[in-house]
């Protein structure tokens, strides 16, 4: 079986490493960090998603970040793994 080639993936800008005082925050990032990330994301009109390298975002955090990034989908590591499994699922049960 052959899989269709995925669309080309590109990292826009440079990855940012940000220290977090706590992952339990409602906004996940502080306002200053969020403003700089929003500016970075906004400067790349061709972006299709934003990846946050953390184990799992709460749904409220994901929603707040998606709103902050102008509606772009926000993906965490857990969501990325689920998308990979779903994309390669062969059976109805696996999907």
Q: pLDDT truncated to tens, each residue of the chain (95 aa)?
A: 444 555 555 666 677 777 666 677 777 888 888 898 899 888 888 888 999 888 899 999 999 999 999 999 999 999 999 888 888 888 877 76
Contacts of 51 by beta carbon, 8 Å cutoff, 6+ apart: 74, 75, 76, 80
Three-state DSSP at 31 gives helix
Domain boundaries, the chain: 31-88
pTM higher than 0.85, yes or no?
A: no
Long-range contacts at 66-69 (CB < 8 A, ≥ 24 apart): 68/34, 68/37, 68/38, 69/37, 69/38, 69/41
């Amino acid at each position: 079986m052959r899989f269709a080639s995925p669309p080309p993936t590109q990292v826009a800008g440079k990855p940012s490493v940000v220290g977090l005082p706590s992952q339990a925050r409602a906004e996940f990032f502080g306002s200053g960090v969020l403003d700089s990330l929003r500016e970075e994301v906004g400067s790349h009109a061709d972006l299709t998603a934003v990846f946050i390298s953390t184990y799992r975002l709460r749904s409220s955090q994901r929603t707040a970040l998606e709103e902050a990034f102008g509606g772009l989908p926000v993906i965490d590591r857990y969501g990325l793994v689920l998308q990979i499994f779903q994309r390669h699922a062969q059976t109805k049960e696996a999907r």
